């Protein structure tokens, strides 16, 4: 039977607690989706910091787990049938953790798919658009005199915020009163947009009171506060 030690990634990041779920990540918007979910669910896990400044994500050990060289990735030593499960892509991991525990994702068909549609909304829209805006606004994009790329992503980010703002009217969370993996996927990106990227003025964030209301409720959750700092960069 496959053991945790059979995975090459454990040679670079040894497991001090091989009975726990292993998380390989960095506290970025995509990374903290999984650490927040793990904290919310109360699952035992062991976080490992994947350092981009030393290109850890390009090492053979990391690529053996995620050939797409992106964080986060996990190995659950107690996967389906008791067999270790390696998994990458934050959305897939969120669905897996929710299904494993029966929490953070409705079990009935219609509500489940409603949650999944907003999770996919983040994966296909919010994450890529906000991320590109961050590149052109905060990082190397500043070197481009032509501001049309930045403005394109700013306009699309503003449109996506408008979709969220309209949907959240009269709702505590994306699914109404029920907090789900969809919220865990979306709001770290909103937080990063106005915080780390400093793009709030650029997208007119002040116009989206409903989004900010729910963001503040999200940030007030103890599990979110813990998850935003995991793995520690120290």
Segment 112-139, tens digit of pLDDT:
999 999 999 999 999 999 999 999 999 8
Q: Where in the chain do CATH 3.40.30.10 domains reside?
A: 4-104
Q: How many CA atoms lie within 13 A of 97 on its CB side?
A: 32
- What CA–CA distances, in Å, run from 125 to 39, 120, 159? 25, 8, 10
Cα first-last separation, the chain: 35
Q: Where in the chain do CATH 1.20.1050.10 domains reside?
A: 109-224
What is the tens place of the pLDDT at every residue in 11-35? 999 999 999 999 999 999 999 999 9
pLDDT at 142 over 80: no
pLDDT for the residue numbered 49: 98
pLDDT for the residue numbered 201: 97
What is the tens place of the pLDDT at every residue in 55-90? 999 999 999 999 999 999 999 999 999 999 999 999
Q: CB neighbours of 150 closer than 8 A, spacing ≥ 6?
A: 133, 136, 137, 141, 144, 202
pLDDT at 180 over 80: yes
Query: Between 1.10.10.60, 3.40.30.10, 3.40.50.880, 3.40.50.300, what CATH number should domain 4-104 receive?
Result: 3.40.30.10
Q: Which H or E run includes 22?
A: strand 21-25
pLDDT at 1 over 70: no
Give yes or no for a cis peptide into 72 (omega within 30° of 0): yes
pLDDT for the residue numbered 197: 96
Q: CB neighbours of 198 closer than 8 A, spacing ≥ 6?
A: 137, 138
Percent of residues, the chain, with pLDDT higher than 70: 100
Query: Between 3.90.1150.10, 1.20.1050.10, 3.40.462.10, 1.10.10.10, what CATH number should domain 109-224 receive?
Result: 1.20.1050.10
pTM, whole model, 2 decimals? Answer: 0.96
């Amino acid at each position: 039977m496959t053991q945790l030690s059979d995975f090459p990634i454990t040679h670079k990041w040894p497991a001090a607690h091989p009975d726990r779920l292993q998380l390989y990540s960095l506290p970025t918007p995509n990374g903290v989706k999984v650490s927040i979910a793990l904290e919310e669910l109360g699952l035992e896990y062991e976080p490992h910091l994947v350092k981009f400044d030393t290109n850890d994500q390009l090492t053979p050990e990391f690529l053996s787990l995620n050939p797409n060289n992106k964080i986060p990735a996990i190995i659950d030593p107690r996967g389906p049938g008791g067999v270790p499960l390696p998994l990458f892509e934050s959305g897939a991991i969120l669905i897996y953790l929710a299904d494993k525990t029966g929490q953070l994702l409705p079990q009935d068909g219609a509500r489940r798919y409603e949650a999944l549609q907003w999770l996919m909304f983040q994966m296909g829209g919010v994450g890529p658009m906000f991320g590109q805006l961050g590149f052109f606004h905060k990082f190397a994009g500043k070197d481009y005199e032509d501001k049309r790329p930045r403005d394109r992503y700013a306009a699309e980010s503003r449109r996506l915020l408008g979709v969220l703002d309209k949907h959240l009217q009269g709702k505590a969370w994306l699914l109404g009163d029920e907090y789900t993996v969809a919220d865990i996927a979306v709001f770290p990106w909103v937080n990063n947009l106005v915080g780390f990227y400093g793009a709030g003025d650029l997208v007119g964030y002040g116009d989206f009171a409903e989004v900010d209301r729910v963001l503040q409720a999200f940030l007030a959750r103890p599990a979110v506060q813990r998850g935003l700092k995991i793995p520690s960069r120290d």
